Structure 1
């Protein structure tokens, strides 16, 4: 029991420390008014069976007032319908069709980059987006200014596109807590921000060189994150550059999504746990060590659920009551500090009553992680 309390205690302290750190904002290194006219971005959007949302996403990007004449949108069409591809081509975006027996995001991106290379296309940086993502006005200018300021790898601020169901609200809160703890909090203490897999801006040549080495079923962004951190490259967090992301509307989609994420997290934790200690003590690589520790710690929802159950049992069978009450209080304090005010206002009894259902969906996701190791688990958008 003591070992369990120590493990959860480390996880709670981690959440609380970086939640507090997120409140002491350290301004990014981007400078306004820089010459960005000659900087060209490739907006790359992998779209696996995403006919419902991809057209609106393409329209959103090319309609941005600061979309440059040298910028380009590439849609990676993996099993899109012919009529969707025709519509995209009419929008004057580049469509690259890919065909795989077993599709993965890493395969699709690498295949598209090979096509671009064969066509002789050159870009300063790639902006990687999900098929449901929409840019908020000013995104392109802000990211180009950050890039010109010297930031080679930038994670931008992903926020909820929809808050139309209780599950979507919980998902939005979870995303913003992660933004506060794993991005802004880390940025403020001088560590790399965590990558999400979309809203990523990266030097094009760097992106190509790293992606060529990646071939995983799921979690390609985590592999990319580990690789760049092992090379001691800093990941900047640009909080003021917003990209809208569709939140899951029901627990079934949530369960599938979390199954994929947890499988990747557990896999990378096992693969890199020992090397993380070597990197820390031999090379002084705090970023890489910290990233692997993140993978080892339990997800926030599991923390909330398990500590809540432990509190109930300790009230019935008094044991370690003070310690468990303290951990619960510190955890909730950290989570509330990390949640933006506009989302805190949405917390009501209906949302809180959804938590047990979501917790048990998370437990079911843990039991299914074996499936995610064998094939890519797709979570549909626009449904």
Structure 2
């Protein structure tokens, strides 16, 4: 009896991992059907209300990357906004510019946490802004960014994740990092929006009603900002939207060491905040909400390299336990990389990004090393070093 129970649990676990790996292929097929049989939905250009935006930029110990971001914000076609730059522990440095729309905030006591910096900015809002946008210091935004967001909020959305594209794409690692963004944008954002489901957020480029953000209560101020905020707000609103036409540019990692640092932090966060996935899934089951069940199910999804690693283990072990399943796993292991490459080719406009996919085994190896050193993230604050000082015109001209 016990052996039978263990066998069926073994099979169930394999089915779950297989559904994660086959989801990209399924969504590609759905996307093809939508293109064939449905006209493309577009957000209307008509704005019935001119929303007031508070753009919050969190900078820690360094302000050198902020001026290009502020410059891109001052070129917005939508004029009803104020930029709040929280210079946390940045000493006496300033932006080297003054503008009525830009407020430089310098906390007297170091905050040392993104969540605290955001709260500090909210406490210093000069007017009761209806919508707040959260950006990182190394970002840039398209001139139509706020104008596009204004249309989405006029449509009734209360929280909108914007489209993150690469600010730099000049190394293989940067191209592979960008490829990962294209992939996750497709399966976790574009297709969710197409199907009327809530999209996942990044830790940047998220716009939401200020009143909605105030309902998120943080018990831990160090890390997990995006994990906590999306797990809370997805339960409060009908749909967490994705605005693919509202573009924010983000700096990509450009070498293997930076990749390991970044992924060590990300992998640690996945396990540390795993409970949020169960919370959303349980809430969805209690409410009978497919949107929340699907969202929670995907929050529980392991990082891609772990999914592939588990698939390889299943394929090998089933050779002795259930040979037919071993062949099935070979099919899954063939389908996943093909669907991954197809999605990147569909989403990317840079042929270098597609060509860089041949270097994915090196990327996989670096992530495996990051996994083995995951404990470092609990002992020290691992910050990815960003240093690309470029302006919006340079990025758009590329």
> Who is 1:291 aligned against?
295
Say which of 39, 44, 48 aligns to 2:56. Answer: 44
The C-alpha deviation readout for 1:81-129, integer Å capped at 9, x for no partner, is 523x15154686211123666612111111221232xxx5211211111
The C-alpha deviation readout for 1:158-207, integer Å capped at 9, x for no partner, is 11111100000000010010000000111111210111121111112212
Q: TM-score, normalization: structure 1?
A: 0.86
> Who is 2:210 aligned against?
204
Structure 2 distance, partners of 1:223, 1:103, is: 18
Say which of 350, 357, 364 aligns to 2:362. Answer: 357
Structure 2 distance, partners of 1:8, 1:344, is: 31
Contact 2:114 2:225 in 1 (8 A): yes
Structure 2 distance, partners of 1:39, 1:271, is: 31
Structure 2 distance, partners of 1:348, 1:138, is: 28
In the superposition, relative to structure 1, how do residues 22 and 162 fare at CA in structure 2: closer, same or farther (>3 Å)?
farther
Q: How do residues 145-224 of structure 1 correspond to structure 2 at under 5 angstroms?
A: 145-210=151-216, 212-213=217-218, 215-224=220-229
1:219 Cα deviation after fit: 1.9
Say which of 215, 220, 231 aligns to 1:226. Answer: 231
The C-alpha deviation readout for 1:304-333, integer Å capped at 9, x for no partner, is 455468779999xx9554222210222123
> Who is 1:82 aligned against?
92
1:231 counterpart SS class = coil
Structure 2 distance, partners of 1:352, 1:377, is: 27
Say which of 68, 88, 100 aligns to 1:56. Answer: 68
Moved runs in structure 1, 4+ residues, more than 4 A?
Answer: 1-4, 25-29, 88-92, 99-102, 304-315, 318-321
| Residue 391 of structure 2 corresponds to residue 378 of structure 1 | no
| Residue 290 of structure 2 corresponds to residue 278 of structure 1 | no
1:74 Cα deviation after fit: 0.8
Q: How do residues 66-105 of structure 1 correspond to structure 2 at under 5 angstroms?
A: 66-68=77-79, 70-83=80-93, 85-89=94-98, 93-98=102-107, 103-105=112-114
Listed as ranges, the gaps of 5+ residues in structure 1 are: none
Say which of 116, 131, 149 aligns to 1:107. Answer: 116
Structure 2 distance, partners of 1:206, 1:302, is: 34
The structure whose RCO (Cα within 8 Å, separation 6+) is larger is: 1
The C-alpha deviation readout for 1:23-48, integer Å capped at 9, x for no partner, is 53685673212244x42211111111
Tell me how large the CA RMSD over aligned residues is. 3.0
Structure 2 distance, partners of 1:253, 1:99, is: 31
Listed as ranges, the gaps of 5+ residues in structure 2 are: 1-9, 389-398
1:291 Cα deviation after fit: 2.8
Q: How do residues 230-245 of structure 1 correspond to structure 2 at under 5 angstroms?
A: 230-245=235-250
Structure 2 distance, partners of 1:246, 1:21, is: 31
Contact 2:341 2:354 in 1 (8 A): no
Contact 2:89 2:112 in 1 (8 A): no
> Who is 2:351 aligned against?
345
